[in-house]
Structure 1
Amino acid sequence: MLITQLRNATLLLEFVSQGHPVGLLVDPMLAPRGSLPALRYLGVGRQRNPIVELPDGSDQCLQRVTHALITHCQRGHFDHLDRWGKRFLRERQIPVLCMPRDAAYLAQRGLQVQALAGPGRQPWALGGHVTPIPCVHGTGWVGRFMEHGHGYLLELPGEPSIYLAGDTVMTPTVRDCLAHLQPDVAVLPAGGARFDVGAEILMDAADMAEAAQLAHGTLVVNHLQALDHCPTTRASVRALGQQGGWAHRLWVPEDGEAREFWRADVVNFAMNNIAADA
């Protein structure tokens, strides 16, 4: 499995299913720098979004897209599906996987929707199984205005299991997924996002420390340094990993960076064979 971080929560997940290459584009925000509204209105940190361009090589990555997966998209959440992303999916007739709640919304925008069955572990079109994991995208009065959406645990034949958290704070449901389902790879949003008033609406660096205690696999941290209301930096997350002794299980990718992941039993089998041959 190859994971390429594009920007913010947008990433490309590549694997082989039933003998065919799959390029799964997650939450495409493809807008040019500064072409979307600011998400803060007070203080010196206010900027139009996104605050960085897509990285070099993005066009080549997008050429490999065969499917898309949406965690949430309504109530103005352009940072997970903007108009450039919709146009890309529509023009290339990319099948879009989503929860039933979002199906009509996306279909009205001309997208080829393939809605999941709903909650619970289920087979899916790309092979293996998918389990939607509910998100809480902010609590208190702020949470009333947010689209909470779902993350997804993907269990693909021959690949490491991967949890794509979506936009969420740390919740009992997220803790249960990390501790009991034990994904091999967990992609978590640590931007610590917040508006001018109200509580945080995303995990932050400290939540990554808790996640590292709960899950034994690799933590991939994104939703960083792309939007004006996300103060957490890559450096702070990496420093926390070093301090906590879990840096060897942490990947905080730069935009455009890619890494390959293997299922643990495949790696162990290969290492045992190498040792035997030696």
Structure 2
Amino acid sequence: MKIQQIRNATIILESGPYRVLVDPMLADQGALPPLRLFGATQRNPLVALPASTGDDLETVTHCLITHCQKGHFDHLDRAAKRWLRDRQIPVICTPNDAGYLAKRGLNVQPLANDHEQPGAFLGGTLRTVKCTHGRGLVGKLMEHGVGYLIEWPGEPSVYLTGDTLLTATVREFVLRHQPQVSVVPAGGARFDIGGDIIMGLEETLEFARLSHGFVVANHLEAISHCPTTRTALRDAAGLAGIEGRLLVPDDGQTLLFPAA
């Protein structure tokens, strides 16, 4: 199995004949608005897509969305909607997002349900995990979405956490299922009010301690309200003695995980 970090939460997950684009944000650098009014007010994304992205996208077979409503352009923006619509790439999503995406002309293939029981997925199985994308007032304004545990025959299990804090639900899920690879949002994003809306440095380290497998950190250095840097996270992983399992890929980098 291969995981290619594209930018922010956007990755390409590859297994056998399938290349699954996850949470695509394909806008040009600076084409999207800021996410804070005070401090860190740069336009988004902060960085351009890797030079190879055009070629990498040509072989995508499916798209998987964790959440996309209420203005979450960093997981599905207008450029990505246009790209998916023009090519009629099958877009797999929760029933909650299916109507929203269908109205925008996408080739929607909704999952059968929104619960943790596994269902069929591209020759393997997939189950959803509840996300908590912020708490308190900010949490009430957010689209919380889901994470996904994907299990393909002969491949390491992979848990795409989606945008979530390290909640009791996430902790219990990791301890019970022990995915061999997890992809977590480590940017520590927050708005002008309220606390973090995704994991930051400390929660990412705690997640890695709970997990026995590899942890891939993304949602870094691409959106203006995410202060965690790759250097800080790599340094912290080294101090914690888990740098061999907590992986912090650069944009465009591909990670290879051997067959289970």
* TM-score, normalised with respect to structure 1: 0.92
* Counterpart contact for 2:90–2:108, Cα < 8 Å: yes
Separation (CA, whole Å) in 2 of partners of 1:227 and 1:183: 27
Q: Kindly provide the CA deviation profile for residues 72-104 of structure 1, in whole angstroms up to 9, marking residues without a partner as x.
A: 000000000000000111111100000100000
Separation (CA, whole Å) in 1 of partners of 2:224 and 2:87: 30
Aligned to 2:10: 10
Three-state SS of the structure 2 residue aligned to 1:247 is: coil
Query: Is residue 2:158 matched to residue 1:188?
Result: no
Three-state SS of the structure 2 residue aligned to 1:158 is: coil
Pick aligned residue for 2:101 from 98, 103, 106: 106
Separation (CA, whole Å) in 2 of partners of 1:209 and 1:91: 40
Three-state SS of the structure 2 residue aligned to 1:141 is: helix
Aligned to 1:115: 110
Q: 1:46-125 alignment to 2 at 5 Å?
A: 46-118=41-113, 119-125=115-121
Q: Which amino acid in structure 1 is aligned with residue 10 of structure 2?
A: T
Q: 1:123-134 alignment to 2 at 5 Å?
A: 123-134=119-130
* Counterpart contact for 1:121–1:129, Cα < 8 Å: no
Pick aligned residue for 2:134 from 134, 138, 141: 138
Larger radius of gyration: 1
Q: Which amino acid in structure 1 is aligned with residue 151 of structure 2?
A: E
Separation (CA, whole Å) in 2 of partners of 1:198 and 1:185: 30
Q: Kindly provide the CA deviation profile for residues 232-277 of structure 1, in whole angstroms up to 9, marking residues without a partner as x.
A: 001111111111111111210000000111134xxxxxxxxxxxxx
Query: Is residue 2:239 matched to residue 1:246?
Result: no
Query: Is residue 2:26 matched to residue 1:35?
Result: no
Pairwise CA RMSD: 0.8
Separation (CA, whole Å) in 2 of partners of 1:234 and 1:177: 26
Separation (CA, whole Å) in 2 of partners of 1:191 and 1:238: 13
Q: Which amino acid in structure 2 is aligned with residue 14 of structure 1?
A: E
Kindly state the Cα deviation for residue 157 of structure 1 after the two structures are TM-superposed: 1.1
Separation (CA, whole Å) in 2 of partners of 1:59 and 1:101: 30
Separation (CA, whole Å) in 1 of partners of 2:65 and 2:153: 21
Separation (CA, whole Å) in 2 of partners of 1:91 and 1:235: 38
Q: Which amino acid in structure 2 is aligned with residue 52 of structure 1?
A: V
* Counterpart contact for 2:129–2:146, Cα < 8 Å: yes
Kindly state the Cα deviation for residue 227 of structure 1 after the two structures are TM-superposed: 0.4
> How many residues are paired up?
259
Q: Which amino acid in structure 2 is aligned with residue 10 of structure 1?
A: T
Kindly state the Cα deviation for residue 208 of structure 1 after the two structures are TM-superposed: 1.5
Q: Which amino acid in structure 2 is aligned with residue 176 of structure 1?
A: E
* TM-score, normalised with respect to structure 2: 0.98
Aligned to 2:169: 173
Kindly state the Cα deviation for residue 169 of structure 1 after the two structures are TM-superposed: 0.6
Pick aligned residue for 1:152 from 148, 152, 174: 148
Deviates more, 1:28-37 or 1:172-181: 172-181
Gaps of 5+ in 1: 265-278
Aligned to 1:272: none
Separation (CA, whole Å) in 2 of partners of 1:158 and 1:89: 29
Three-state SS of the structure 2 residue aligned to 1:144 is: helix
Kindly state the Cα deviation for residue 125 of structure 1 after the two structures are TM-superposed: 3.7
Separation (CA, whole Å) in 1 of partners of 2:246 and 2:58: 28
Q: Kindly provide the CA deviation profile for residues 29-75 of structure 1, in whole angstroms up to 9, marking residues without a partner as x.
A: 000000001001112x2100001000110011101100000000000
Q: Kindly provide the CA deviation profile for residues 202-243 of structure 1, in whole angstroms up to 9, marking residues without a partner as x.
A: 100101121122110000000000000000001111111111
* Counterpart contact for 2:234–2:243, Cα < 8 Å: yes
Q: Which amino acid in structure 1 is aligned with residue 171 of structure 2?
A: R
